Structure 1
Amino acid sequence: MLDADQGQPLGLDGKGLTIGIVRARFNDAITKTLEQACIAELRALGVEEDSIRLVTVPGALEVPLALKALAAGDEHFDALVALGCIIRGETYHFELVANESGAGVTRIGLDHQIPIANAILTVENEDQAWVRAEPKGRDAARVAVEMANLLDELL
């Protein structure tokens, strides 16, 4: 649904929503920046501090399993957020981690019919990661809130 005057998506009101965040600790300083930006934006959108649950995992490959545990657990979440940072190296490992973590995040969202904002950065170098960390953290918060509200409307 669009605001006819501005062409902007409606549904960025986070009041009453519960959001789960899974953050990979690999490239910790970068992922911590993603986390801080995401939480700050969630709060700015009206999500209460005690309605944000943060868990950390070692790396991006572990993110989908933690998302699955949150989605399938007793606690209700309106949306989830995946945070991580994968920086290309000299081996095929970059592609493996990027592809498998991305596929896992998507599968959890579809299997559990829960929106997941995927902000696992996949970058060529650390400079690219730093440029993207804060904006992508904020974007992930907005995506989570908008999609939670959209699914609430559609289902």
Structure 2
Amino acid sequence: MNRTPHILLVEAPYYTHIAEHLRKGAERAMAAAGATHEVISVPGAFEIPAAIGMVARSTDRFDGFVALGCVIRGETTHYDHICAESARGLQDLAVREGLAIGYGILTVENEAQAVARASAEHRDKGGEAVRACLALLDLKRRLAGEENDCTDRAAARRFSARRA
């Protein structure tokens, strides 16, 4: 099967300016890869795993998912719980359901760190999450015996080098 990957971006726009940077980076990465997408919004990072699970169980029109959001540490332990549970929820879904999920939820100490990680000029974590999702889709397709490569090989190498 040789078709364009269709991705669902699930964003938590609690910090709207940061969410906008993440979404724009994600959309640029999808355009560069030739992928199509839709966007849904949820109140916060904690709700992202539930939304992806609901969508994945109700339709098969998405090949992969990208989680976008930001959690900034405050004065209470709320940050720790939200960060841990949103990551755990997404990982559980990916492993249990075999979903290709790119993780673009920033977990930072302050707004300056969030902006640096979200903006395309710096870390471009939205684009990085899309490239991770596409790399997982490529793996799924290769394991299924399909030839369609939905990743930009050079981008995948850059992503892998940054993660090392």
With the shorter chain as reference, the TM-score category is: 0.7 to 0.9
Counterpart position of 2:102: 117
Alignment partners' CA distance in 2, 1:86 and 1:75: 29
Counterpart position of 2:129: 140
Deviations along 1:65-85, one digit per CA (max 9) or x if unpaired, are: 111012112232221100000
SS at match of 1:84: strand
Which aligned pairs between 1:66-105 and structure 2 lie closer than 5 A? 66-105=51-90
Runs (5+) with no aligned partner, structure 1: 1-13
Which stretch shows the higher mean deviation, 92-101 or 109-118?
109-118
- The 3 A distance-change label for structure 1 pair 82 and 147 is same
- Mapped pair 1:152 → 2:141: yes
Alignment partners' CA distance in 2, 1:30 and 1:93: 20
Alignment partners' CA distance in 1, 2:105 and 2:80: 13
Aligned-pair distance for 1:15?
Answer: 5.7
Deviations along 1:107-133, one digit per CA (max 9) or x if unpaired, are: 111221111011100000000000000
Give the conservation status (yes or no) of the 8 Å contact 1:21–1:53: yes
Counterpart position of 1:33: 21
**Runs of 4 or more off by more than 6 Å in structure 1?**
none
Alignment partners' CA distance in 1, 2:98 and 2:60: 15
Give the conservation status (yes or no) of the 8 Å contact 1:25–1:57: yes
State the TM-score, normalized to the length of structure 1: 0.85
Which aligned pairs between 1:4-83 and structure 2 lie closer than 5 A? 16-47=4-35, 51-83=36-68
Q: What percentage of aligned pairs have identical amino acids?
A: 35
Runs (5+) with no aligned partner, structure 2: 145-164
Deviations along 1:126-146, one digit per CA (max 9) or x if unpaired, are: 000000003101101111111
* Equivalent residue letter for 2:134: V
SS at match of 2:76: coil
Bigger relative contact order (CA 8 A; separation at least 6): 1
What is the root-mean-square deviation in Å for CA atoms of aligned residues?
1.4
State the TM-score, normalized to the length of structure 2: 0.81
Count residues in correspondence: 139
